[in-house]
Amino acid sequence: MEKALEHYRSLPEPKRSEHLWRYSAWRRLHPTGKVDEVPKAVSAKVVLTNLDGSAVDSAIELRPARGEERRRLSATLAEDNVAASFCRALCGDESLLLSIPNSYVGEQPLSLDITASGHISSLYLLFDIGTNAEVELAISIRGEASWFGLLREGNIGENSKLNEFVHNRLDRTSTLLRCEGIELQRDARLLTATLSSGADKNKSDLRYSLTGMGADLGVFIAVHGQGKRHDDHHIEIEHKVGNNRSQVEMHAACDDNSRSVGTGRLLIAESAQGADAGQVFRNLLLSDKARADVIPELEVLADDVSANHGAASAPLDPEQVFYLQSRGLDKKESRDIIVEGFLMDAFKDFKSPALIDHLRTLLLVHLDCDLI
C-alpha cells in the first residue's frame, strides 16, 4: 500500500491541455479536491451469481488477487496514469480476481453486482479469462457512495470470447471514476457495452490493447443525460500487431443542462499492417442548454490499414415527436420512444441476444421512471 501511495504522490497533477483531462480536470474529480491527499475508502460490496440469480459454476473463481496476479494482469495501463494510480493507492492491498478457466463455455450470462456505500468507496477488480473460453457478463454499479472509484484490469486469452454489459446506475449525488485496461490476445474477442445513466459526475478512462493477430474489439456506449449530469468518456485503443479489428460506437442523448464528452484515441503501430478500426460518435440534444463534445483522434503509423472516424450532433426532430403524438402518445412518451431508439442503436453490433434483452429492459424502466 505504501508503495502505491508513494507512486501516486510522485506523479504531477495532469494539465488541462492533456487529451484525457481536457473537459474534466483531475482536481474537480478528486474526492476531496486536494490532489495530494489519498483518503480512506470503503471497499465496495461485490456479489457474483448467474443472471437468473442461481449459483455460478464451481469452476469460476471470485477471490482476493495475489501479488503476482496483480503484476501480470496490470500491463495495459501506463505507470503515469494518474487515475489508475490513485485507485490503486485507495485500494491498497485489496483487490479481487474473477477467473474463468480454459475452455469454459457459459450456459447463461453471469451477473456481477457492485454496491458502493459510504462517503468514499473503491474497488480494484482483475479478471483473467483463459484460452478457448466463452462467457457473458452483466455488471451493475449501484449505491449511494458520494464518490466511487472502479479500477478494472485484465486479460482475454487466445481464442476466447467475452460479451459484457456495464450499467452505471449510481445515485445521482455520486461521482464515478472508472478506469480500465484490457489486453486481447490472438483471436480473442471482446464486445463491451455500457449504459450510463447514474451519478451526476462521471469520468471513464477506457483503454484496450490488441496484442494478438485476429483480435476483435467492439466498444458500445449509450449515455443518457438529465439535470446537470457531466459524463466524460475517453476511449483509447492500441493496435500493436496487424490483422485485427476494433470498433467504437457511442451515442449520447442530452437533456436539461447535461453535458456529454466523448474522446477517442486510436493508435495503430507501424507493425500493425492490415488493422481495421473505426470510431463513430453521435449526439442527440434534447434541450437548448444541453452540450455534447466529441474529439476522435487517429495516430496511424502503418500504411496498409482501414481507419475511419465520424461524429454528428443534432437536436430532437419536432416532426418525429408530432408524428408519434398524432398516434395517441403524449409528449413525454414520444420523446422517450425516440431516445430509446437512439440509445439502443448504439448496440446494433453488440452480438448478445440475452444481454441486449436485459439492457433494453433496464433502459425502458429507466426512461419510464426517470431513474437518474
Q: Let me know if residue 75 belongs to a domain.
A: yes
| Local confidence band at 370 (pLDDT 50, 70, 90 cut-offs) | low
Secondary element (H or E) of residue 259: strand 259-268
Domain count, the chain: 1
Helix (H, G, I), strand (E, B) or coil at 363: helix
Least confident of 15-29, 100-114, 143-157, 230-244: 15-29
Per-residue pLDDT at 372 exceeds 60: no
Domain-located, residue 118: yes
HSE-up of 359 (CA within 13 Å, CB side)? 35
Residue 312 belongs to a domain: yes
pLDDT of residue 369: 72
C-alpha 185: how far from chain center: 20
Give the helix ranges, DSSP H, for the chain.
Answer: 2-10, 26-29, 67-73, 82-91, 318-325, 331-344, 353-369
Domain assignment present for residue 190? The answer is yes
Q: How far apart are CA 182 and CA 180, in angstroms?
A: 7
Is this prediction's pTM over 0.85? yes
Query: Domain for residue 338, yes or no?
Result: no
Residues 6+ away with beta carbon under 8 Å from 327: none
Q: Which residues pair with 193 in a beta bridge?
A: 165, 220
Parallel/antiparallel/unpaired status of strands 45-50 and 110-116: antiparallel
Residue 355 clears pLDDT 80, i.e. is over it: yes
Q: Is 344 domain-assigned?
A: no
Q: How confident is the model at residue 236 (pLDDT cuts 50, 70, 90)?
A: very high
Residue 324 lies in a domain: no
How far, in Å, CA of 156 to CA of 135, rounded? 11
Domain span at 144: 2-317
Phi-psi region of 368 (alpha: psi -120 to 50; beta: other; left: phi over 0): alpha
Asked whether residue 355 is domain-assigned, the answer is no
Number of helices and strands (H, E) in the chain? Answer: 7, 19
- Average predicted confidence (pLDDT) for the chain: 94
Q: How far is Cα 82 from Cα 64, in angstroms, rounded to an integer?
A: 24
pLDDT bin (cut points 50, 70, 90) of residue 101 is: very high
